[in-house]
Amino acid sequence: MLSSRSSRLARGGLAAALTLSIAAAGAPARAADDPLIDYPTFKGASQALDRNGAADLILSSGDKARQKILRLTPGGYRQSGSAWSLTKLDVTRSFESEFKVYLHHFRPGADGIAFVVQTEGPRALGGWGGGLGYRGIEPSLAVEFDTYQNSYDPSRNHLAVVLGGNPDYQADTAEAPIPLFGKPFNARVVYDAGASLLRVYIKSLSAGSTEQLVLEHEVNLAGHVGDTEAWIGFTASTGTGLSKQDIYSWTVHGSGV
């Protein structure tokens, strides 16, 4: 049986509304409110994150300054992991989620991670391999950062939007403009509730790099997940190809419930 290593969440009164001003495509939106979720590192996050399967909070290695990170898979065969914030998100309103990712260790890497919005619950965990840890979680919306080319994938370095927990059917895909494997990168997922529009941005951490808009997808998120509130977090998996798949930081600007 897949296990969950969660502690009790001390529920706060976080309910600040977010007003996102989505400008023309290519002009990233920024949120000014205090974040609903704020992990510059994952120090102290054990009380507020439900971790399942292979996922755990660990100290990073190989960095000049070691820090607490979220490791979704530690690099073994056929692993899957998930982590969900126990502060639920109001999906009838706009939100923005930004996170630093590092997929590394083995070559070729597999299979990748996903940022997921779902209403199944904080113990939700999907399949390994091409399932990216969210296969079978429904209702859900997943934004994939995929490093392995399965038969239904356009490449081994792509992003995708997947609805309904089935990665075999991708609602939208795009080639990543930077390598997803081997070097850390930043990602930003922005949902404009008024326009029912999801945008995904990505940015290399190399000096002089700029954020790029990679995907846009129209979706009524609350209508799709069948509720006004949802759990948000990350999933990942390995198969016969392996990776250590880490999240170094995570912030969410939005409205909590």
pLDDT score for 108: 79
Q: Please tell me the predicted confidence (pLDDT) of residue 10.
A: 35
Q: Is it the case that residue 19 has pLDDT exceeding 50?
A: no
Q: Are 152 and 167 in contact (CB under 8 A)?
A: yes
pLDDT at residue number 106: 82
Q: Is the dihedral angle over the CA atoms 53, 57, 58, 60 positive or is it negative?
A: positive
Find the mean pLDDT for residues 193-208: 97
Taking the C-alpha atoms of residue 115 and residue 141, their distance in angstroms, rounded to an integer, is: 8
Can you give the pLDDT at residue 63?
65
Contacts of 128 (CB under 8 A, 6+ apart): 78, 79, 80, 111, 237, 238, 239
**pLDDT tens digit sequence for 140-197:** 999 999 999 999 999 999 999 999 999 999 999 999 999 999 999 999 999 999 999 9
Stretch 10-30: mean pLDDT: 37
pLDDT value, residue 11: 34
**Tell me, what's the pLDDT at 257?**
81
Q: How confident is the model at residue 15 (pLDDT cuts 50, 70, 90)?
A: very low
Q: Is the pLDDT of residue 9 over 50?
A: no
- Across all residues in the chain, what is the average pLDDT? 88
Polymer length of the chain = 257
- pTM of the predicted structure, to 2 decimals: 0.87
* Residue 66 binned pLDDT confidence (cut-offs 50, 70, 90): confident
Measure the CA–CA gap between 165 and 71, rounded to whole angstroms: 22
Give the pLDDT of residue 8.
32
CATH 2.60.40.10, domain 37-253, yes or no:
no
Share of the chain above pLDDT 90, in %: 82
Report the distance separating Cα 98 and Cα 36, nearest Å.
12
User: Using 50, 70 and 90 to split pLDDT, how confident is the model at 204?
Assistant: very high
How far apart CA 3 and CA 252 sit, in angstroms, is 26
